[in-house]
């Protein structure tokens, strides 16, 4: 963390950051006269701006121009000077209108949340489905599609739903479905997702005797679904919005190409998740990727139950209204946590009642 600046210098830096965020134009000393706390001469302001420039908090893009914040300046502002704005009723309603409170499916809810983030920020939105190393299989269903084709649906303890079509080598009969349901109930319900792997499936198939041939494709499909459900899925929305910001005039194409690559995007979110803070602001080179050197990423964690976590956030230019966007993202995160936690607790209660009724 930077050493605290003298009060007047803090006031000037805060004013420069906020005015530059608002206008996108370099800020000169005359523009700061008359602002709150600026009851000093233009010469004094220029001297303080010169010191802030030497210290690396602001820079002068052209000799005759005013000053603009550097990455260091934004960082100091966010950490020490920014006062989070109170969300207006209009903004609250705008955010809430984009969220489907009725959906207990995390993936459907997060799709709506991403749309709400894009609408609220006019930036790109990023989100991840819940991840929980202790997640287990809650339910598996098989729905017949044709004589030898079935749809397998897997539900996890954190509400993730995965499905996949499977072609069998034999006719799907009521007897086969009953056998499948029995095997699933005895071997998969309550089993951690991470335990369902190739070795487990091979061992199970080997123990089935005459049913091995008919069950093998179905059980392999379950393993595929368990693997897919155990990996947090990254969703990106609104990336074309970045074309509308002049900060990306020179590298919008390069940035969009980066955002379409799953691996660095996943690393970006997981690196943000290393912090103990529920919300993290990464500015410019703090993002570790050259493509994001003039971008800021705000990532906020949501929680389900005791251990499941995911993230929502935005990617946009460093010149963004942090004092407004951070409270909005926090508010949306609270909604996601509340809705999904309520669904999780209801399902846990239902499971307990069902177990006690047996």
Whether residues 224 and 113 fall in one domain: no
Say what the pTM is.
0.84
d(CA 339, CA 296): 28
* Sign (positive or negative) of CA dihedral 37, 40, 42, 44: negative
Segments of 10-62 assigned E as strands: 58-59
Confidence of residue 31 (pLDDT cuts 50, 70, 90): confident
Average predicted confidence (pLDDT) for the chain = 88
The count of other CB atoms within 10 Å of the CB of residue 240 is: 11
Among candidate residues 182, 210, 230, the one where a domain is terminated: 230
pLDDT in tens, 156-214: 988 889 999 999 999 999 999 999 999 999 999 999 999 999 999 999 999 999 999 99
**C-alpha torsion angle, residues 44, 46, 52, 53 (rounded to 10):** -160
Contact (CB, 8 A) for 329 and 309:
no
Domain that holds residue 155: 137-230
CATH number for the domain spanning 36: value is 1.10.10.10
Residue 195 has, within 13 A of its CA and on its CB side, a CA count of 12
Structure tokens of 249?
A: 């005039």
CATH number for the domain spanning 333: value is 3.30.450.40
C-alpha of 100 from chain center: 17
3-state secondary structure of 126: strand
Q: Is the pLDDT of residue 358 over 50?
A: no
Among candidate residues 209, 230, 251, the one where a domain is terminated: 230
Whether residues 248 and 349 fall in one domain: yes
Asked if residue 103 belongs to a domain, the reply is: yes
Q: How many domains are there within the chain?
A: 3
Structure tokens of 171?
A: 């006719």
Whether residues 69 and 114 fall in one domain: no
The helix-helix angle for 89-97 and 322-357 (nearest 10°) equals 50
Q: Is the pLDDT of residue 36 over 80?
A: no
Q: Is the pLDDT of residue 1 over 50?
A: no
Whether residues 101 and 242 fall in one domain: yes
d(CA 104, CA 122): 27
Q: What does the pLDDT read at residue 264?
A: 77
**C-alpha torsion angle, residues 203, 207, 209, 212 (rounded to 10):** -40
Whether residues 238 and 224 fall in one domain: no
Whether residues 346 and 246 fall in one domain: yes
Among candidate residues 81, 99, 121, the one where a domain is terminated: 81
The winner for highest mean pLDDT among 30-44, 135-149, 296-310 is: 135-149
Asked if residue 1 belongs to a domain, the reply is: no
Whether residues 342 and 209 fall in one domain: no
Whether residues 242 and 215 fall in one domain: no
Confidence of residue 42 (pLDDT cuts 50, 70, 90): confident
Closest of 138, 139, 144 to residue 176, by C-alpha: 144
Asked if residue 115 belongs to a domain, the reply is: yes
What is the H or E stretch that residue 131 is in? strand 124-131
Q: How open is the CA angle 94-96-100, to the nearest 5 degrees?
A: 130
Structure tokens of 61?
A: 């893009």
Backbone angles phi, psi at 33, to 5 degrees: -60, 135
Q: Is the pLDDT of residue 275 over 70?
A: no
Confidence of residue 346 (pLDDT cuts 50, 70, 90): low
Asked if residue 50 belongs to a domain, the reply is: yes
Whether residues 215 and 257 fall in one domain: no
The count of other CB atoms within 10 Å of the CB of residue 165 is: 12
Contact (CB, 8 A) for 134 and 155:
no
Residues whose CB falls within 8 Å of the CB of residue 32, separated by 6 or more in sequence, listed in order: 12, 15, 16, 19, 38, 45
Asked if residue 273 belongs to a domain, the reply is: yes
Whether residues 99 and 186 fall in one domain: no
Whether residues 238 and 344 fall in one domain: yes
Whether residues 270 and 182 fall in one domain: no
Asked if residue 2 belongs to a domain, the reply is: no
CATH number for the domain spanning 190: value is 3.30.390
């Amino acid at each position: 963390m930077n050493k605290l600046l003298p009060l007047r210098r803090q006031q000037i830096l805060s004013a420069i950051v906020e005015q530059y965020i608002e206008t996108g134009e370099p800020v000169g000393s005359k523009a700061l006269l008359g602002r709150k706390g600026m009851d000093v001469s233009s010469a004094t302001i220029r001297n303080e701006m010169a010191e802030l420039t030497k210290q690396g908090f602001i820079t002068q893009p052209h000799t005759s121009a005013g000053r603009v914040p550097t990455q260091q300046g934004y960082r100091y502002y966010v950490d020490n000077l920014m006062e989070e704005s109170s969300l207006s009723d209009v903004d609250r309603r705008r955010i809430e209108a984009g969220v489907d409170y009725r959906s207990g499916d995390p993936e459907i809810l997060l799709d709506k949340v991403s749309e709400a983030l894009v609408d609220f920020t006019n930036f790109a939105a990023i989100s991840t489905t819940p991840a929980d190393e202790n997640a287990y299989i809650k339910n598996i269903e098989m729905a017949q599609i044709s004589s030898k084709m079935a749809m397998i649906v897997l539900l996890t303890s954190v509400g993730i739903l995965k499905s996949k079509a499977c072609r069998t080598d034999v006719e799907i009969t009521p007897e086969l479905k009953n056998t499948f349901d029995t095997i699933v109930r005895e071997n998969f319900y309550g089993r951690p997702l991470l335990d369902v792997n190739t070795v487990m499936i091979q061992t199970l198939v080997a123990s089935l005797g005459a049913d091995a041939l008919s069950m093998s494709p179905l059980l392999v499909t379950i393993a595929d679904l368990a693997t897919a459900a155990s990996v947090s899925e990254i969703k990106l929305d609104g990336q074309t919005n970045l074309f509308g910001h002049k900060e990306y005039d020179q590298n919008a194409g390069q940035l969009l190409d980066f955002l379409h690559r799953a691996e660095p995007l996943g690393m970006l979110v997981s690196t943000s998740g290393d912090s103990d803070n529920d919300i993290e602001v990464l500015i410019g080179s703090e993002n570790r990727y050259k493509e994001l050197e003039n971008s800021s990423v705000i990532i906020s964690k949501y929680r389900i139950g005791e251990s499941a976590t995911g993230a929502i956030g935005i990617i946009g230019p460093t010149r963004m209204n942090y004092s407004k966007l951070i409270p909005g993202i926090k508010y949306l995160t609270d909604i996601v946590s509340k809705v999904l936690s309520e669904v999780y607790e209801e399902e846990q209660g239902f499971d307990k009642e069902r177990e006690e009724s047996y």
